Amino acid sequence: DAGITQSPRHKVTETGTPVTLRCHQTENHRYMYWYRQDPGHGLRLIHYSYGVKDTDKGEVSDGYSVSRSKTEDFLLTLESATSSQTSVYFCAISTGSNKNTGELFFGEGSRLTVL
């Protein structure tokens, strides 16, 4: 296993509150990703990182920010949570080479409910 931990695994919060999800890896993989999964939409990429302080947007980045201050941690922040951000969030790391990053290992997911 690639050693990836997501926290919290479950969270219920209220609209307008900030939320931070953490993804922690125990190995030194360069690429990390945040996806969300919703019924009818499948998995959609929110943001990804290709190194410390190097991040970029995915297809559904509005309302989310990320930070990667050290290799092992990739944080996803909802500055002001909305009900549309109720979802299951998956973190992933790429265990492939830098030239081919498609071999991802996913975390167990964080289920977020915004009331």
| Chain residues that interact with another protein, rule: CB under 8 A | 31, 33, 35, 42-45, 48, 50, 58-59, 88, 90, 92, 98-109
Quick check: helix, strand or coil at residue 83? helix
91 vs 114, beta carbon nearer another protein = 91
- Distance (Å, rounded) from C-alpha 80 to C-alpha 87? 15
Cα–Cα nearest to 48, from 9, 40, 29, 38: 29
Closest separation in Å from C-beta 56 to another protein: 9
45 vs 75, beta carbon nearer another protein = 45
65 vs 106, beta carbon nearer another protein = 106
Closest separation in Å from C-beta 45 to another protein: 5
Closest separation in Å from C-beta 103 to another protein: 6
Cα–Cα nearest to 46, from 58, 38, 54, 56: 58
- Distance (Å, rounded) from C-alpha 88 to C-alpha 73? 19
